[in-house]
Amino acid sequence: MPAVGRYRSIGVVRSALEDLDAAPSQGPEAGTMAVIELDPAWAQGLEGIAPGRWLWVLCLFDQAKEPKLMVHPRGDRSRPQTGLFNTRSPHRPNPISLTLVRLEALKGNRLTVRGLEMIDGTPVLDIKPWSEGIDHPRGEQA
């Protein structure tokens, strides 16, 4: 398959997590806080976003390793192997993360968010609002 599109970072994550070993193996720890430092050129795009809002944040796992098609969930060798696409492994063909976060504070181009467990310096690709009306399977309760 040919490469498609191109991406550019709109900002970076600022967090206390310094490397892959410090990152949680699955999902954010309760209360995990981080700051998204948006490139000032994109700051006007934050208009209308307010604290308390849920946001989808897409990041690039820039330290991801080569993916394996079969993996042990959460790296736990006591669990049977399963297909890569049945896991949340950061080591993927296109190492892009999708994380739902809660906006705690917004000051200029800096968003303080809860629930983003990225390593300090992780590139941010996009931010999108979570929408109750469309971000759950149609016809099912949220």
24-59 residue pLDDT tens: 655 555 568 999 999 999 999 999 999 999 999 999
Spatial distance between the Cα atoms of 100 and 32, rounded to a whole number of angstroms: 12
7: number of Cβ within 10 Å: 12
Q: What is the pLDDT of residues 106-118, one digit of tens each?
A: 999 999 999 998 9
pTM: 0.85
Residue 1 has pLDDT above 60, yes or no: no
Structural contact between residues 24 and 99, judged by C-beta atoms closer than 8 angstroms? no
Q: pLDDT-derived band of residue 65, with 50, 70 and 90 as boundaries?
A: confident
Q: pLDDT-derived band of residue 142, with 50, 70 and 90 as boundaries?
A: low
DSSP 138: T
- The better pLDDT of the pair 67, 121 is held by 121
Least Cα distance to 101 among 34, 49, 8, 17 occurs for 34
Least Cα distance to 15 among 48, 47, 59, 46 occurs for 59
Residue 75 has pLDDT above 90, yes or no: no
Least Cα distance to 110 among 37, 13, 11 occurs for 37
Domains of the chain, CATH where assigned: 11-129 (2.40.30.70)
Spatial distance between the Cα atoms of 124 and 35, rounded to a whole number of angstroms: 11
Q: Return the pLDDT at 141.
A: 62
Q: Return the pLDDT at 47.
A: 97
The residue with tokens 């949680």 is 24
